[in-house]
Amino acid sequence: MSYDPCYSPNKLRYSSKMQYERCGLSGLKLPLITLGLWHNFGASHSLEKQSSLIKYAFDCGITHFDLANNYGPPPGKAEENFGQILKNDLSRYRDELIITTKAGYQMWDGPYGDGGSKKYLISSLDQSLKRMHLDYVDIFYHHRPDPETPLDESMAALDSIVRSGKALYIGLSNYNSEDGLKALKILKDLGTPCLIHQLRYNLLDREAEHSTLVDFHNQGVGSIAFSPLAQGLLSDRYLKNIPDDSRAGNKASPFLDHESVNANIKKIKKLNEIAKARNQTLAQMALAWCLRRPEVTSVLIGASSNDQIKENLKSLGNLNFSEADIKVINTLTLEV
């Protein structure tokens, strides 16, 4: 794919529907909807399609793009593709973008390609910056806690990354409240307060409501909810069947399978009826559900088409839930 001299972003991108919220107690504003590149941005999707998704999102006011060292397939490919798209079309807009990456899962062979050691975190970010042709990322996350590395070491590595200028802010992901609160204290004492916590939260997985969301919020840290559509289950994608081109239909993808669809389909159909009564699609209601929480700064969606992004943005038109809606949703989603 070559440089597209014709691309100029939508002039109305900041006056359209997107809203921006301060992340926790920081000064950084994030769009209520963020685009993640975990799926659909690896080697098996064309660069043209990926470029179209990213530029469409930017045109709609989505300024925040979420990556990780291991997104692909193969691992690293999503960063490489994103870097190419950025270089071709968006480099002039770098200061309008929040670009994040992470390290914490297995990335390369040997003892230094996984976990939370200083060696791994710093080498991994250096590799990510090279793949994306960037001098710095806006947010660098520790992708998951590593019980084998002292928390002090991982947090000191994150602090040194900010001091080196290779990241502006630090995030944590998949930390429970106990480890998270310890990590927040270490970071604060080092002088690099944590900006954001990235965690799974959706209508089918409400575990985070028990403590994590509130505990991070009480420390002034924002939360970004990943898989807010439960990887597509909370949409009309599977209401009739499992399409071949869907995540669950793709046998090469281990993350969502036929069993998960079949196990949840009754609940999904009932949730779809509630969404209809609210004049929303199920996807829109599912995103609104996460955004109604004061702790949630942004929902981190994935998308395989521009139309999905378009539909999801319309969730911002109605983020309110009546007591009656909440009651019926609780009955449906909290039942054992």
Angstrom CA distances, 120 to 106, 153, 206, stand at 10, 11, 32
Give, rounded to a whole angstrom, the gap between the first and last alpha carbons of the chain. 50
Burial degree of 194 (CB within 10 A; 0-12, 13-18, 19+): buried
CB of 283 to ligand NAP, least distance (A): 4
Contact 267, 294 (CB under 8 A): no
Q: Please state, as a whole number, how many other Cβ atoms lie within 10 Å of the Cβ of residue 255.
A: 12
Closest to ligand NAP by CB, 92 vs 228, is 228
Give the chain's length: 336
CB of 132 to ligand NAP, least distance (A): 14
CB of 196 to ligand NAP, least distance (A): 11
Pairing of strands 29-31, 20-22: antiparallel
Angstrom CA distances, 232 to 83, 194, 225, 302, stand at 26, 30, 14, 9
CB of 173 to ligand NAP, least distance (A): 4
Closest to ligand NAP by CB, 7 vs 267, is 267
Closest to ligand NAP by CB, 211 vs 304, is 304
Closest to ligand NAP by CB, 7 vs 98, is 98
Helix (H, G, I), strand (E, B) or coil at 135: coil
Q: Measured between alpha carbons, how far is 54 from 76 in angstroms, rounded to an integer?
A: 17
Closest to ligand NAP by CB, 222 vs 302, is 302
| Helix 118-132, helix 151-164: angle, nearest 10 | 40
Q: Which two tokens stand for residue 148?
A: 């084998």
Closest to ligand NAP by CB, 49 vs 270, is 49
DSSP 205: B
CB of 284 to ligand NAP, least distance (A): 8
Q: Which residues fall within 8 angstroms of residue 212, CB to CB, at 6 or more apart? A: 175, 176, 177, 180, 197, 199, 223
Q: Bridge-partner residues for 200, per DSSP?
A: 226
Contact 124, 67 (CB under 8 A): no
Closest to ligand NAP by CB, 214 vs 242, is 242
CB of 113 to ligand NAP, least distance (A): 17
Helix (H, G, I), strand (E, B) or coil at 22: strand
CB of 282 to ligand NAP, least distance (A): 8
CB of 254 to ligand NAP, least distance (A): 13
Closest to ligand NAP by CB, 45 vs 270, is 45
Closest to ligand NAP by CB, 59 vs 66, is 66
Chain residues binding ligand NAP by CB under 6 A are 36-40, 66, 143, 173-174, 198, 226-232, 235-237, 246-247, 283, 300-304, 308, 311-312
Among residues 141, 147, 179, 181, the alpha carbon closest in space to that of 161 is found at 141
CB of 112 to ligand NAP, least distance (A): 21
